Amino acid sequence: MRMRQVMIAAVMVMAISFTPLAHAQDPINKAGRGAVNLLTGWLEIFKQVHMGKQDPNPFQGLGMGLVRGTSLTVIRTGTGAYELLTFPVAYPNGFASPYPGMELPDYAWQPVPRAISHDPGVE
């Protein structure tokens, strides 16, 4: 009976001690998101141009959409390459994705969350 209690206690201590090693982002998700963003980062150009056409002044919106789309393509593709190359190195606990800090969704085809929308008409 005593040995069983010791074994249960040992398992519980091991489970608790390994908990800090669990990260918010596992390497497979990080590598997958990095590969997808590396290959599809160029979609930001079309997405931002489309969002710019919805501006009250569509010509200005198209120009700003093209500039914003080009810069976000560089950012998303570069971050995708970084994530793909560093996928074995986990992010710190509580840090799931670098994209919300840059006010971007995880993938180019996802809609921009309302809280970080660039559209002045969206609150």
The full set of domain ranges for the chain reads 25-116
The sign of the dihedral angle between the CA atoms of 63, 47, 123, 116 is negative
Angle, vertex CA 39, rays to CA 37 and CA 44, nearest 5: 60
Place of tokens 């840059």: 102
Residue 22's SS3 state is coil
For the stretch 27-84, pLDDT in tens is 888 889 999 999 999 999 999 999 898 888 888 989 999 999 999 999 999 999 998 9
Place of tokens 């992010």: 91
More reliable by pLDDT, 67 or 109:
67
Predicted local confidence at residue 23, as pLDDT? 42
Predicted local confidence at residue 71, as pLDDT? 94
Average pLDDT, the chain: 78
Would you give the distance in Å from CA 34 to the centre of its chain? Answer: 9
Residues above pLDDT 70, as percent of the chain: 71
